[in-house]
Amino acid sequence: MKIVTYNVNGIKARLPRLLEYLAEAQPDVVCLQELKSSDDTFPEADIRAAGYGAIWHGQKGFNGVAVLARGVDPVERQRGLAGEVEDEHSRYLECEVFGLIVASIYLPNGNPVPGPKFDYKLRWITRLQERARALLAEEVPVILAGDYNVIPNDDDTFSVRAMASDALMQPESRHGYRALLAQGWTDALRTRHPKGNIWTFWDYQAGAWQRDAGFRIDHLLLSPAVADRLAEAGVDKEYRGREKASDHAPTWVRLR
C-alpha cells in the first residue's frame, strides 16, 4: 500500500500534473496540501474520473487540504484542530481509509521571524501535538502526512546558512517537531534515509531545481502500529521537473 503526501501548490493550476501522477504512480492514498480552492471549486469530478474518492477542506485562494483514496471514499473523522476557535485556516483533515487513520496536514510557514505569523506557527504545532497524543492513545494505525514547514535537521537542507533565518529552521520550530516525534511517532523518510540529503521541495526562485538546492519539509509520521509495517519510503522527485509542476514532489511510504 502506497501512501503519499503531496503539496500541489494550487490544485486547479496543477490538476494535469496531479491526474498524471495518479495514473502513473497509482498510489492508494494521497494527502494533498495547499489546494488554494474553495470547497465549491474542488475538482471532484476529475478526481472521481481518475478512479479516486475524496474528502477535502478548502479555502479560497489559500491553504486547503484533501485526502484521496483509490476506489473508495475516505470517511471523515475531523477537520481542523481544537484549541483556537478563531482559527479559520483550512490546514488539517483526518479520515479513516483502508483500515488506517490518515491526516493531511499543512502546517503554517511562519515567516517572517519574529512576528505574529511565527507565533501562530508555534501555537499550531502545540495544537497538533495535542491531537497526535490523543490519536496515539487510541492505539490504532495512524499516519500524519503533510507539509510540516519544518526542516528537522541540518542535513535536511542544501544550505544551513541560506535557511538559518527562516521560520522553517528556527530552534522553536525544530523543538516542536522533535517533541512530536518524542511522543512515539516514526519519521518514515528519515528512518529509510538516515544520512539525510533527500529533498521534497525546491523553490521556483534562483534556479533551485536546476541546482538541486532543496530541502525536506514534507513528512509522514507513523504511529507504532504502522511503523511495524513500513517497507519503503521515498520521494518521486522526477515529478518536480515536469512542466508547470508544483514546487514540492510527492513524498511517500509503502506499507506491508
- Residue 144: enclosing H or E segment and its boundaries? strand 142-147
Span 36-41, average pLDDT: 97
Residues ≥6 apart with Cβ < 8 Å to 90: 35, 57, 58, 59, 62, 63, 64, 65, 79, 80, 106
**What pairing do the DSSP bridges indicate for beta strands 92-97 and 65-70?**
unpaired
Question: Can you give the pLDDT at residue 90?
Answer: 98
Give 207-233 pLDDT, tens digit per residue: 999 999 999 999 999 999 999 999 999
Give 69-115 pLDDT, tens digit per residue: 999 999 999 999 999 999 999 999 999 999 999 999 999 999 999 99
Cis omega before residue 112 (within 30°)? yes
Span 157-162, average pLDDT: 97
Residue 64 CA to residue 85 CA, distance in Å, equals: 18
Rg (CA), the chain: 17
Tell me the pLDDT band of 179, cut-offs 50, 70 and 90. very high
Question: Can you give the pLDDT at residue 221?
Answer: 98
Task: Count Cβ neighbours within 10 Å for each residue of 153-180 and write b for 16 or more, e otherwise.
Answer: eebbbbeeeebeebbbbbebbbebbeeb
Give 127-148 pLDDT, tens digit per residue: 999 999 999 999 999 999 999 9
Of the candidates 16, 65, 23, 33, the one whose C-alpha atom is nearest the C-alpha of residue 251 is 33
* Whole-Å CA distances, 160 to 107, 166, 200, 234: 21, 10, 16, 22
Give 40-75 pLDDT, tens digit per residue: 999 999 999 999 999 999 999 999 999 999 999 999
Cell numbers found for residue 190: 528519515
Neighbouring C-beta atoms of residue 228, cutoff 10 Å = 12
**What pairing do the DSSP bridges indicate for beta strands 142-147 and 100-106?**
parallel
**255 SS3 class:** strand
Residue 218 contacts residue 201 (beta carbons within 8 Å): yes
